[in-house]
Amino acid sequence: MKTSILLASIVATLSGNAPEPAADGKLRIICFGAHPDDCEIQVGGVAAMWAAKGHHVKLVSVTNGDIGHWREAGGPLARRRKAEAERADQILGVTCEVLDIHDGELLPTVENRRLITRLIREWKADIVMSPRPNDYHPDHRYTGVLVQDAAYMVTVPFFCPDVPYLKSNPVFLYYPDSFQKPNPFQPDVAVAIDSVIQKKLDALDGMESQFYEGGANGSAELVPNDPAKQQERHRQVRGFFEKRYQDQAQRFRSKLAEYYGHEKAGSIKYAEAFEICEYGRHPDQNELRKLFPFFGE
């Protein structure tokens, strides 16, 4: 009964009905990563697939990535990485935003919570994505905490009263990682990205400061002058990521099978996967199939 659902906000917002579809009938997805490349790595495939169907996807880097390189740093690097993210997101067909917060210094303050809350609301998000709060980089962890801290608050009218609140708590999803403690990533949905793998590799290959040049842990030897070696280096980058999504297809094969059937799942080469965050709306598989409208293809 609907009224009793409204009694206690947690019930209303965690188990409630999905929101009315947007005016244009399209889904609205916003994804948070700590640095300008994290979203692209984690959800670049599905993002491109949503975009191709006309759904609205925004990738947000919560920091500006201004220490993410072995040779450059500060504002000039921040600008370079933003430009790379914009180029990559153009390839993927999605909207790009890079917040100007120092890389390596993100904290779960109330100011940042408001920032995230406003971005989710302004995007009128049906789906919100983020890293889990346990990951190897403090910015990843605190991005996870901040998005958790914005979950539910996006539905509270007088938190950030300057931005219209969401009537329905979005579905919040985590990206996969390999950490086991205190608990491992558990996929709730897995999606084949075979149809867009080249597009995703193009997007990532173009983020040169981070991948081709090796990012914070790179070095001069990664940046050859010889054009043949340069080409070889590009092939390495693409190969590295190609293998990563192959490994993910392997790792999440049984979850793929739930959505695609065993046979089809067996032939999937590249995959992305996501885990439901308990603090957003709790979708059942039925709703997930609507949010990820790719399984019947």
Confirm or reject binding of residue 286 to a second copy (CB under 8 A): no
Count of Cβ atoms closer than 10 Å to residue 163 Cβ: 15
Phi, psi (degrees; rounded to nearest 5) at 132: -75, 160
What gap in Å lies between CA 165 and CA 120, rounded to an integer? 9
Closer of 159 and 295 to a second copy (Cβ) = 159
Closer of 158 and 296 to a second copy (Cβ) = 158
Instruction: Find the shortest distance in angstroms from Cβ 45 to a second copy.
Output: 16
Site for a second copy, residues 99 to 128, rule: CB under 8 A:
100, 102, 104-105, 107, 109-111, 113-114
User: How many residues bind to a second copy according to rule CB under 8 A?
Assistant: 79
Closer of 191 and 237 to a second copy (Cβ) = 237
Helix axes 110-122, 138-150, angle to 10 degrees: 60
CB 102 within 8 A of CB 61: no
Given the structure tokens 């205190």, which residue do they identify?
182
DSSP letters spanning 3-26: HHHHHSHHHHHHHPPPPPPPTTS-
Instruction: Find the shortest distance in angstroms from Cβ 62 to a second copy.
Output: 13
Amino acid at 258: E
Contact mark string toward a second copy, 209..238, x via CB under 8 A = --x--xxxxxx--x----------x--xx-
Contact mark string toward a second copy, 143..172, x via CB under 8 A = -----xx-xxx-xxxxxxxxx---------
Binding residue (CB under 8 A) for a second copy from 14, 83, 223, 257: 14
DSSP letters spanning 31-62: EEESSTTHHHHHHHHHHHHHHHTT-EEEEEES
Instruction: Find the shortest distance in angstroms from Cβ 55 to a second copy.
Output: 26
Site for a second copy, residues 68 to 87, rule: CB under 8 A:
68-79, 82
Instruction: Find the shortest distance in angstroms from Cβ 234 to a second copy.
Output: 11
Site for a second copy, residues 172 to 201, rule: CB under 8 A:
179-183
Closer of 142 and 292 to a second copy (Cβ) = 142
What gap in Å lies between CA 145 and CA 150, rounded to an integer? 9
Largest CA distance in the chain: 69
- At 223, which helix (H) or strand (E)? none
Q: Candidates 119-127, 132-140, 247-255, 263-271: pick the segment binding a second copy (CB under 8 A).
A: 132-140
Phi, psi (degrees; rounded to nearest 5) at 60: -115, 125
Contact mark string toward a second copy, 24..63, x via CB under 8 A = -----------------x----------------------
Count of Cβ atoms closer than 10 Å to residue 249 Cβ: 23
SS3 83: helix
Which of 54, 277, 253, 242 lies closest to 154, judged by CA? 277
Instruction: Find the shortest distance in angstroms from Cβ 154 to a second copy.
Output: 11
Instruction: Find the shortest distance in angstroms from Cβ 24 to a second copy.
Output: 25
Site for a second copy, residues 242 to 281, rule: CB under 8 A:
244, 278-279
